[in-house]
Structure 1
Amino acid sequence: MKTSTLFILIFISISSSLAQKQTGIKMLNKYLQEKEFFKLEAAYKQQKNILSEFDDMYYGALIDNASNRCAESTKKIERLLNGSKLKGQTTLQLLKVQMDNAVKLDNYSMAARMGDYILSSYSSFLDATEIADIRNSTKLWRALENVAPQQTNRIQSSVKWTRDKIGLMNIPVRIGKETNDFVFDTGANLSTISLSYAKKLNMKILPTRINLSSSTSIQNEATLAVAPIVFIDKTALKNVVFLVLPDENLQFPQLDYAIHGIIGFPVMNQLKEVQITRDGLFHIPEQIANNVDQNLVLDGLTPIIQLKIDNDTLLCRFDTGALETELFKKYYEANKSRVEQEGRVDSIRRAGAGGTHKVNAYKMAPSTFIINHKKTTLSNFAILTESLGDFDKHFYGNIGQDIIGRFNKMTINFQSMYIDFD
């Protein structure tokens, strides 16, 4: 009788443990699918003791990738891919993340190989849009496979930043003998330059054409060029990749405004930390700080910030190239009754490389935004009631200059992954 009771207790204990593990895996997969990276990491740490060795390494690799620990993520994925036979969807997920790791580590040939392998072996798991995206990305990285990785000689540097005609932040950038103001844009996945200015600088334009889509859902076509060396004051960056856009795609005749160039995420990532003050100083510090809690992750090459809006903790894109903060349809649907009660019906025009696009929206009463315990209030911002496609699929909004400009100093740190304000 005692033996039978003991067997039942052991069986109940094992069943309970298995049920707990299955529930934990479902939760991790839910957060992963929704790109709720901070919730994913919190749940992963909570479940870590009951995860299998494979699951521990699998979710750890994905979290490392989102937290910009790409070398660590790469090692874990290599072990997973070499260690056991995996299901097709699992292998595909790992290969896509490995491709992204290679891009962030400037290993363009590896990124192209990953893309080719995905298309040749796993296209049956992809829809037509995903296939087109991976094919286009692979074409981009294949064009760069013989380009040396970007390197940075990081020296304490300071320049005076200015606002251009429409209010965007510009920093002086020297390429060759020419110095010009480039837009500083965390929302740009790659640095960008106009075709005429690339020719003026005698940049070598690579023989490839890449299809792009902007946040306005307008399709653009670009080529590529590589600048042997780019200076921001005393800091030198070698082998900097630029998207080259036709001049008309960077011109806004209705505003009598044009962009020569944009400094995007890959340059910022290698600078590791920059400090920007309201009175016009753009500073690359000698020492990189690591004493601030993480509130930043990456979705591919896009910075995503965790913040509070009123009482909700949300993930939003962080975009220094956007003049105004806006919240997306996902936020509208989660707060529909309050938005419709407190807001007023309106529409906005979203400007991006290639044109403008009208979107229906509500303009909102004052709301409180809190970033790393720093609080500000914003009113009359837009909450969009229609989708922008993949641009707004997973996140609640886009944080722009109207929030940034309310603070005396902003620090962007891609090593410890945080944005802080003073």
Structure 2
Amino acid sequence: MRPSSTASLPRLAPWAFSLLLAHGVCVAGDVPANPPVVPISHAFEQALDDADAGDVFALERLGTASADARMTTLAKARIAAARLRADDAVALAGPIARDDAAPPAHRARAWALLADAAFTAGDYAAAASAADHWLDALKQNHAPPDERDDAQRLAALAHALSTGPRQRTESLTPVAVATRRDKVGLSRADATVNGHAQEAVLDTGAGLSVVSQSTATRLGLRILDTAATIDSASRDAVPTRIGVADRFDFAGLTLRDVAFLVLDDAQLELPVPGGYTIDAIIGFPVLRQFKRLRFERSGSLVPEGAARSDDRPENLRIVSSALYVDARLRDVPVAMHLDTGAPRSFLTSRFAERHPHFADGPPQRDERMAGAGGATTRRVARIGNAVLELAGKRATLPELTLVTKDGDEVQAQNFGLLGGDVLNQFEDWTLDFDAMTFELGKPIGDKR
């Protein structure tokens, strides 16, 4: 219901990108100089594609062994990247991207991985260069237009962002801040931008922070000369400019040169009875600067600064600046995109294609979905009394939407979305970017 992170960014993973890409330096990996191209199993290829859509957990469960040495190496790079293990990911994917003897499909996958990594790390010049190489490799491989469109969109956005300075942290002294729920259930808090107070939606699902044009003007953002586009719910191109805040203060964090997507005011007005407008969104590039961040249902955001020292299993992965949580529905694993900007959870058509039996029985109907720049109609079923298992807890939803058919020109980017209807069943929930964990507090009403 707002600019989607998956619409604007590639479906690959972030890490702290090194200058190796910018300077064209190759780091030796464990791939042979000229390994033969061997057909890989359908299960392995599907797991790689699923990892690009957020389900890195399935690739980890399957293992990375493949008859094709380069694909094995790229699988290892994908897992390392999703765990934010920068050095391992760069060392594995970089040589394949620059190996002229590698098949174009392999080089395209490697360049896509590097482009997304650079973008998520805020190195937009490197992201633009890698996306250009990604597009070239796709053309050499005669890839279909929609795949080339993904690379082209990322390249255009990265080029636009690269004309401004990189975001940097000036200081961090974590301070709890008050949050509040708005009329549609989104969490909002107050930040300070260029010395001006600004209420903003807190949205882990946004790959970039966002402001309306009138808000950008009031806050005194520097508008970069180049323009870009994002996709709406109907995949129509939505024109946007890039604005840069000289200073951004929030919860004890001070950042310099924070980039925002600047949308026309009308693009952030949603068809809610009585009217509903979003002036600003604080997205993942800002929130990730807190190493550990706790959201309390009672109305506080608590940056904790340091990771926990216990041995909780890793259940959080990051792909295309999007957070994914390892969950289960009726013993079926599903990687769900954690999106605090979404009031309701749902499963996508991609999940329905893999598990069609979930659509058996419930009547299906058309549902209208609005977003930035337009709307689309999709076909959905309702799963009653859906019990999700995640982070060692259970959450029950009276109804869970399952999309069985997307609207025209819409393609599911992941398997499901985890929203406020699940999160609000617990006293708090925590993101730990060092330990790579998503944690849930006590269920509401639990007196223990």
Superposition deviation, residue 194 in structure 1: 0.3
* Corresponding position of 1:30: 46
Answer 1 or 2: higher relative contact order, Cα 8 Å, separation at least 6.
Answer: 2
Whichever residue aligns with residue 155 of structure 2, its letter is T
Count of matched residue pairs: 398
- Indicate if the aligned counterparts of 2:128 and 2:155 stay in contact, CA closer than 8 A: yes
- Contact 2:240–2:262 (8 Å) recurs in 1: yes
1:174 to 192, 195, 210: 192
- The residue matched to 2:261 in structure 1 has which SS? strand
The residue that corresponds to 1:339 in the other structure is 359
Q: Does 2:176 align with 1:158?
A: yes
Within the alignment, does 1:60 sit opposite 2:76 as a pair?
yes
Matched AA of 2:216? A
Question: Which stretch shows the higher mean deviation, 260-269 or 67-76?
Answer: 67-76
Paired residue type of 1:408: E
Question: 1:309 aligned to 2:292?
Answer: no
Q: 1:232 is aligned with what amino acid? A: F
Return the offset for 1:97.
0.6
Q: Which region of structure 1 is more displaced relative to structure 2, 225-234 or 116-125?
A: 116-125
SS of the equivalent of 1:156 reads coil
**Shift in CA distance, 388/346, structure 1 to aligned 2, threshold 3 Å:** closer
1:416 aligns with 2:432: no
**What pairs up with 1:8-407 in 2 under 5 angstroms?**
27-35=43-51, 36-44=55-63, 47=65, 57-81=73-97, 85-120=101-136, 122-125=138-141, 126-152=143-169, 153-255=171-273, 256-289=275-308, 291=310, 292-337=312-357, 339-341=359-361, 343-387=362-406, 393=412, 395-407=414-426
Distance 1:390 1:290, change over 3 A: farther
Q: Is the 8 A contact 2:386 2:399 kept in 1?
A: no
TM-score by length of 2: 0.81
- The 1:351/1:134 distance shift into structure 2, 3 A limit, reads same
CA 1:204–1:394 in 2, change beyond 3 Å: closer, same or farther? Answer: closer
Unaligned stretches of 5+ in structure 1? 1-21
User: Alignment RMSD, CA only?
Assistant: 2.6
Task: Describe the superposition over 1:47-96 as per-residue Cα deviations: whole angstroms up to 9, x where unpaired.
Answer: 49x985x5654322121122233343123223444577311111111111
Q: Is the 8 A contact 1:328 1:392 kept in 2?
A: no
Q: Is the 8 A contact 1:161 1:169 kept in 2?
A: yes
8 Å CA contact retained: 2:293, 2:430: yes
Q: CA deviation at 1:159?
A: 0.3
Paired amino acid for 1:101: A
Separation (CA, whole Å) in 1 of partners of 2:364 and 2:135: 44
Distance 1:374 1:275 in 2: 17
Separation (CA, whole Å) in 2 of partners of 1:137 and 1:394: 15
Q: TM-score, normalised by structure 1?
A: 0.86
Give the 3-state SS of the residue equivalent to 2:230 in structure 1: strand
**Matches of 1:358 and 1:390 in 2, distance apart?**
11
1:351-388 per-residue CA deviation (whole Å, 9 max, x = no partner) reads 32234433332223101111111111111232222125
- Give the letter aligned to residue 377 of structure 1: T
Are 1:73 and 1:101, in contact at CA under 8 Å, matched by a contact in 2? Answer: no
CA contact (8 A) 1:304 1:316 kept: yes
More deviation, 78-87/211-220: 78-87
Query: Which residue identity does 1:421 align to in structure 2?
Result: L
Q: Which runs of 5+ in 2 are unaligned?
A: 1-37, 442-448
| Alpha carbons of structure 1 residues 115 and 329: separation in structure 2 relative to 1, 3 Å | closer
Give distance in 2, aligned partners of 1:226 and 1:70: 27
Question: What secondary structure is seen at the aligned counterpart in 2 of 1:411?
Answer: strand
2:444: which partner in 1? none
* CA shift in 2, pair 1:207/1:30, >3 Å: same
SS in 1 for 2:259: strand
Amino acid at match of 1:224: I
Amino acid in structure 2 at the alignment position of 1:43: L
Query: More displaced, 132-141 or 279-288?
Result: 132-141
Q: Deviations over 1:254-302 (max 9, x none)?
A: 4311001111121122223210011001011132225432222223122
Partner SS, residue 425 of structure 2:
coil
Aligned partner of residue 399 in structure 2, secondary structure: coil
Partner Cα separation in structure 2 for residue 324 and residue 272 of structure 1: 26
Which residue is equivalent to 1:12? none
Contact 2:56–2:79 (Cα < 8 Å) also in 1: yes
Aligned mates of 1:121, 1:84 — CA distance in 2: 10
Cα distance in 2, alignment partners of residues 339 and 117 from structure 1: 41
Equivalent position amino acid for 2:222 in 1: K
Specify the code of the residue in structure 2 equivalent to 1:59: A
- Quickly say closer, same or farther: Cα 1:24–1:233, change in 2 above 3 A: same
Report the Cα distance in structure 1 between the residues aligned to 2:192 and 2:107, rounded to whole angstroms.
43
* Equivalent AA in structure 2 for residue 123 of structure 1: K
The structural deviation recorded for 1:28 is 3.1
Q: Cα gap change, 1:91/1:337 in structure 2, threshold over 3 Å: closer, same or farther?
A: closer
Summarize deviations over 1:225-273 as a string: whole Å, max 9, x none.
1112211132112221110000000012543110011111211222232
Q: Which residue of 2 aligns with 1:10?
A: none
Q: Distance in 2 between matches of 1:351 and 1:258?
A: 13
- Pair 121,382 (structure 1): closer, same or farther in 2 beyond 3 Å: closer
